[in-house]
Chains A and B, each alone.
Chain A
């Protein structure tokens, strides 16, 4: 069994994939925890879809596609925030508008580019962790170190801000800067993860490991640590699944972490469906109302 797992690692591409898998497993869980506690999970989805046009334009102009994607992701958060604050349109609608517009532009640009160049749209949408290059590894590790360093340095400020932004502001913390900084880090996380997990499914890597850990431990740093462990196991397992069964790595990774979540949901000591009082189903309001209708 161990041989089966170690044998592929003699290949350079597998070693590179492993490094990327560990790095994104950690940073996705850490940044995703911040999104989850602020109820901004779907913002992660919006930013990730918005990376595509930046990536395409950078490719067209011959720039670094990571930089292009990062700029597009940042622009999308600025646009969402601008619509939300300047009009009475709510945040969820603003996110929907911006990310679908950005994503459509991205798909259009890449389809046009694909006519003349060999660029595989599927790799960006669904991930191809086995195809990461040496340059990808360097960028991903650099981004991961940066993110972890910032989070470690600002942990107490970010905890205060994400729990109680008004009191944090009243105490004199620059909450708009902290909020914008967090979004920049989220955009960086997504940029680092797009090649391995793909833009469509990276949301799951942001949210699911942290949400799983949240069912098990009570403090934010514990959620991040346990979430990172789940994320790493998930992305490494997904990498092997991708290698052995020739699957796109994104769905493979996401299926593994989703499995962890499902298992935790069933047996979590405090909130598990199986470990909590029975007859959850009969207490569902929808079920009660249905029964009442047919009586």
Chain B
């Protein structure tokens, strides 16, 4: 018998759990993020959108303390998010990873259990069951023993999603999970996002496509180095907001999505 990842700590939908306050960050002395503030409720799928170079990934990394913020803070509950990293699962951009690394899909999924397992401990049978269940959930169980370099982009992203699931986190951070993947994988990923949100988790996704996939997000954070707008999707996706964020170059915007 395999069991699903446990979904604990159900937070009532609507409570603001994530509170970004006046966050600024610079990268090699170029200001990438200027005084960004927004709040986010648990139980929602929230997209961070904006043009290339808007600082979307930088925002995510600065929130988690993976790069130093020059100003501001990010609270999760009533404490700094960076001090509660064991409650966080973060999935980096696929392009940041060396996929020629000698590891199998299984090895990568088990990485999600490293922190929970603890120093000097071996992976438990429980952890292995969780990993099997997560691989099954993302439809990649048969890829278990494949070297990661032999997987397609969509398959690699599924493995990363499985790794995030076994972390049994409360907050999930995904950086551009839909780049270079197939439609079927996209559907699987959105499906799981909604499941996580329904279980009261916090799901934050850096996204750059303003097309039909927009309907999957409950709330949006629109960014162009500074915050343009944040909140419910239909309130953020207005023509004036998008003009400001994209300098009026957003002809591909699908109005039906709002």
Contacts and interface: CB of A to CB of B under 8 A. Distances in A.
A172 B117 contact: no
A258 B69 CA distance: 47
Given A157-B119, A171-B167, A163 B108 contact: yes
Given A156-B123, A163-B101, A223-B102, A170 B107 contact: no
B107 A169 contact: no
A154 B85 CA distance: 20
Contacts of B98: 37, 39, 163
B216 to A, nearest CB: 23
Interface string B122-150: 01000000000000000000000001000
Interface in B59-99: 61, 64, 66, 85-86, 88-92, 96-98
A167 B101 contact: no
B37 interface: no
Contacts of A156: 110-111, 114, 117, 123
B97 A163 contact: yes
A171 B92 contact: no
A88 B96 CA distance: 21
B30 to A, nearest CB: 12
Contact of B64 (A170, A214, A219): A170
Interface in A208-261: 214, 217-220, 222-223
B85 A172 contact: yes
Given A159-B107, A219-B107, A170 B90 contact: yes
A59 B28 CA distance: 43
A135 interface: no
Given A166-B66, A223-B102, A173 B92 contact: no
Interface residues of B, number: 33
A13 interface: no
B86 A171 contact: yes
Contact of B102 (A37, A157, A170): A37
Contacts of B91: 167
Contacts of B114: 156-157, 159-160, 168, 171, 173
Contacts of B92: 164, 166-167
Most chain B CB atoms below 10 A, which of A153, A164, A214: A164
Nearest to A175: B66
Given A157-B114, A173-B115, A218 B90 contact: no
A164 B97 contact: yes
Interface residues of A, number: 27
A214 B102 contact: yes
A162 B108 CA distance: 12
A218 B104 contact: yes
A171 B85 contact: yes
A170 B66 contact: yes
B51 to A, nearest CB: 23
Given A172-B115, A173-B114, A218 B88 contact: no
Nearest to A158: B114
A173 B108 CA distance: 16
Nearest to A160: B111
Contact of B28 (A88, A154, A214): A88
A212 to B, nearest CB: 12
A219 B163 CA distance: 17
Nearest to B116: A171
B90 A153 contact: no
B258 interface: no
B173 to A, nearest CB: 7
A33 B110 CA distance: 20
B102 A171 contact: no
Interface of B: 28, 61, 64, 66, 85-86, 88-92, 96-98, 101-104, 107-108, 110-112, 114-115, 117, 119-120, 123, 147, 163, 167, 173
Interface of A: 37, 39, 88, 153-154, 156-157, 159-160, 162-164, 166-173, 214, 217-220, 222-223
Given A156-B111, A163-B108, A167-B92, 20 more contacts: A37-B98, A153-B119, A162-B101, A163-B97, A163-B98, A163-B103, A166-B66, A168-B111, A170-B66, A170-B88, A170-B89, A170-B90, A171-B114, A171-B167, A172-B86, A173-B114, A214-B102, A218-B104, A219-B147, A222-B102
22 contacts: A153-B120, A156-B114, A157-B119, A159-B103, A160-B111, A160-B114, A163-B101, A163-B103, A163-B108, A164-B111, A166-B66, A166-B90, A168-B114, A169-B66, A170-B64, A170-B85, A170-B88, A171-B167, A172-B86, A172-B115, A220-B101, A220-B102
Give 5 closest A-B pairs by Cβ, nearest first.
Answer: A170-B90, A172-B85, A218-B147, A160-B111, A171-B115
